[in-house]
């Protein structure tokens, strides 16, 4: 089984819909991250969490929200999806002492029509 | 503010040839530097990292990178390319291993038979 699992892997939806992307990990890491990848732009940080009670905004948090349900689970929500949120979304984890994202899920490809 | 510039969005080499992927960074403090690799339909994998110890860093799959402060560079090299090296490579920088890691736009490596 993968260390970091993202569901769904692909999603097509319509403008205005609420969408939740889920991430679970078996690494036992405290830090979890949500990134967005757009062609030619690399990865941009949406939200990150140091532990269950500590959630922080990243570079591009507008239009997104998150929930850290447990150490192993970190969900990303789009409250009212818009077409420019079409992208590839990644969840990642790390241990506190390293800081940088270490383990990534395989991504969720999200298309908003 | 930190930033990363990867020179060349696409690089093509022949199998057995030297691989050189260029990365320049900007940071107001001594940086931590990373290279990640992304294979199709997968998340990113950490190839190697520099955290102020030895300036020549060896990573997985025969890759290495050299930190050159005077040139603000952290180029990735491999002496002999394999077909399996074809992927997208991302350079990244963070401040002292902190939570905020900035990614470059990526360089796609093509390996010709």
Residue A22 has which token pair?
């889920």
- Predicted confidence band of residue A92 (pLDDT cuts 50, 70, 90): very high
SS3 state of residue B61: helix
CA distance to partner chain B, nearest, from residue A22 (Å): 15
Bigger pLDDT: A18 vs A102:
A18
pLDDT in tens, B60-80: 999 999 999 999 999 999 999
Best to test chain B binding among A25, A43, A51, A57 (most B CBs inside 10 Å) = A43
Cis geometry, peptide bond prior to residue A49 (ω within 30 degrees of 0): no
Best to test chain A binding among B43, B87, B97, B108 (most A CBs inside 10 Å) = B43
Cα–Cα distance between A107 and A22 in angstroms, integer? 10
Predicted pLDDT of residue A97 = 66
Residues of chain B with pLDDT below 70 are 96-99
Which among A40, A90, A92 is the nearest to B105, CB-wise?
A40
Predicted pLDDT of residue B92 = 93
Predicted pLDDT of residue B27 = 84
Positive or negative: CA dihedral B51, B106, A91, B102: positive
pLDDT in tens, A12-30: 999 999 999 999 999 999 8
Which among A92, A100, A106 is the nearest to B97, CB-wise?
A100
Predicted pLDDT of residue A98 = 63
Q: Is B31 part of the contact surface with chain A (CB cutoff 8 Å)? A: no
Contacts of A40 in chain B (CB under 8 A): 9, 105-106
Contacts of B41 in chain A (CB under 8 A): 106-107
| CA nearest to B34, candidates A104, A63, A40, A23 | A104
Predicted pLDDT of residue B98 = 59
Phi, psi of B67, deg, nearest 5: -85, 120
Q: Is B43 within 8 Å of A107 when comparing Cβ atoms?
A: yes
pLDDT in tens, A27-84: 999 899 999 999 888 899 999 998 899 999 998 999 999 999 999 999 999 999 999 9
Predicted pLDDT of residue B96 = 63
Chain A contacts in chain B segment 52-111 (CB below 8 A): 90, 92, 94, 96-101, 103-106
Which among A43, A50, A106 is the nearest to B103, CB-wise?
A43
Q: Is A40 within 8 Å of B106 when comparing Cβ atoms?
A: yes
Predicted pLDDT of residue B28 = 80
Which residue carries 């530097």 as its tokens? B33
Residue A11 has which token pair?
């999603």
Predicted pLDDT of residue B30 = 81
Q: Is B46 within 8 Å of A99 when comparing Cβ atoms?
A: no
């Amino acid at each position: 089984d993968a260390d970091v699992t993202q569901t769904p892997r692909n999603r097509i939806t319509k403008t205005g819909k609420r969408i939740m992307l889920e991430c679970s990990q078996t690494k036992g890491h405290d830090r979890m991250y949500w990134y967005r990848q757009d062609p030619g732009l690399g990865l941009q940080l949406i939200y990150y969490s140091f532990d269950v009670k500590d959630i922080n905004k990243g570079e591009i948090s507008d239009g997104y929200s998150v929930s850290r349900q447990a150490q192993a689970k970190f969900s990303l929500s789009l409250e009212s999806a818009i077409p420019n949120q079409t992208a590839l979304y990644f969840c990642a984890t790390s241990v506190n002492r390293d800081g940088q994202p270490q383990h990534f899920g395989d991504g969720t490809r999200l298309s908003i029509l | 503010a930190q930033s990363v510039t990867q020179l060349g969005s696409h690089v093509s080499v022949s199998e057995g040839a030297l691989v050189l992927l260029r990365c320049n960074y900007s940071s107001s403090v001594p940086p931590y530097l990373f290279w990640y690799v992304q294979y199709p339909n997968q998340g990113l994998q950490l190839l190697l990292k520099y955290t102020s110890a030895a300036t020549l860093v060896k990573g997985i799959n025969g890759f290495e990178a050299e930190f050159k402060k005077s040139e603000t560079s952290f180029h990735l090299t491999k002496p002999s390319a394999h077909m399996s090296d074809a992927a997208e490579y991302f350079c990244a920088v963070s401040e002292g291993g902190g939570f905020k890691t900035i990614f470059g736009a990526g360089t796609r490596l093509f390996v010709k038979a």
